[in-house]
Amino acid sequence: MLRHISIFMIMILIVFFSGCINTKTDNKYGVIIESFEPEFNPVYSGEPVTFYVRVRNTGDVEAEHVHIELLGLDEDWCTVTPGCDKDNNQKKPNEPECQRGGDGFSLRPASSVYGTPGESHVCTWDYVAPTTKKFSVTYPLTARVFYTYKTVTSQVITFASREELKKIESSGESLPSHVLSTTHGPVELIISTESPVRFWEDQVEFPLRITVINTGGGTACASDQDIQGTCKKTSGKTSMNRVRIVIKGDDNLQPIEDCEEFKSGKAVSLWEGKSATFICKMRATNLQKSGVVERSVVVTANYEYYIDGETSITVNPKD
């Protein structure tokens, strides 16, 4: 009975102290907004107020160049708040590493070895509540979190000679299967091909199907050359809803023809910001005349990503 009461009290405390936040994303992996709230809510006209945003890395790789912007507070707030940019009605975070224009901060991923969660970080903004004379006013606001990330997927591809396949079929045996290895992030990579690939010479060409899916609910950005800052790019070809794909095989497995440019990296557009599927032609060389051969391919998606979280604050008249 005491144990049940303790659990119930813990749940109450969690609800009471949790930040009021409505995220526009349903992502499980990558950088998430754990809490987004003002220090007090409601506040009174002329009262100082601090906004807090806590983010955490729940993916499998390090998040880099993380910075956060606070959006939605209008000129009423900016006029009475010291240090607020009157041109865009925005104020920079108090912490230099949280501000746009620098290198940002990094968030380490969770460690299965040490059993530790992904790293978290808090950014804050100091404002002064505007004057409301007769009625309470509720202001919606948005925390937008930018970061650079990557998703890495590897696959072992099996090649079998015609003679070997005949032997396997007649014996009732099967070729070994290989589990796809992938990191978790807001963008998912899927590699698929017919396996085993049948060959009868010392080399063979075959199609590799690659699917990119934006599962994080945010926006991915990239160009052929750059990743950092591409979500804020204002000139040239758009970088929104794109990821930069790199395909690398071992010494005896390489992309060819149109897919050869993926060896150094090429941006791929996501249809409506959600997904893309393309086929790359690959060539495997130095194959044995008979038997089974394995080759490995690694596909990496590099991108900048941003997510939004929403909350609100109510300002009451002082009198």
- The CA–CA distances, whole Å, from 310 to 38, 84, 139 equal 12, 20, 11
Is residue 213 within 8 Å of residue 187, measured between CB atoms?
A: yes
Token code pair at residue 226: 């750059």
Looking at every residue in the chain, the average pLDDT score rounds to 88
From residue 159, give the alpha-carbon distance in Å to each of 11, 169, 195, 254, 261. Answer: 54, 15, 7, 14, 24
- The predicted pLDDT at position 9 comes to 41
Task: Find tokens 């993926």 and name the residue.
Answer: 262
30 dihedral zone (left: phi>0; alpha: psi -120 to 50; beta): left
Q: Where are the alpha helices (DSSP H) in 122-161?
A: none
Structure tokens at 107: 């968030």
Higher pLDDT, 15 or 186: 186
CB neighbours of residue 291 within 10 Å: 12
- What is the C-alpha to C-alpha distance for residues 99 and 105, in angstroms, rounded to an integer? 9
Residue identified by tokens 């249809």 is 271
Instruction: Identify the residue with better confidence: 234 or 242.
Output: 242
From the candidate CATH numbers 2.60.40.1180, 2.60.40.10, 3.10.20.30, 3.40.50.10490, the one assigned to the domain spanning 2-147+310-316: 2.60.40.10
Q: Where are the domains of the chain?
A: 2-147+310-316, 149-305
pLDDT digits (tens, 9 = 90+) for 162-201: 888 888 878 877 776 666 799 999 999 999 887 788 888 8
- Helix, strand or coil for residue 236? coil
What is the Cα–Cα distance from 147 to 59, expressed in whole angstroms?
12
Q: Which of 270, 121, 255 is nearest to 187 (CA)?
A: 270
Largest CA distance in the chain: 91
Structure tokens at 101: 């224009």
Helix, coil or strand: residue 286: coil
- Look at 49-63, 90-104, 123-137, 287-301 and tell me which has the smallest mean pLDDT: 287-301
SS3 96: helix
- Tokens 């014996």, residue located: 171
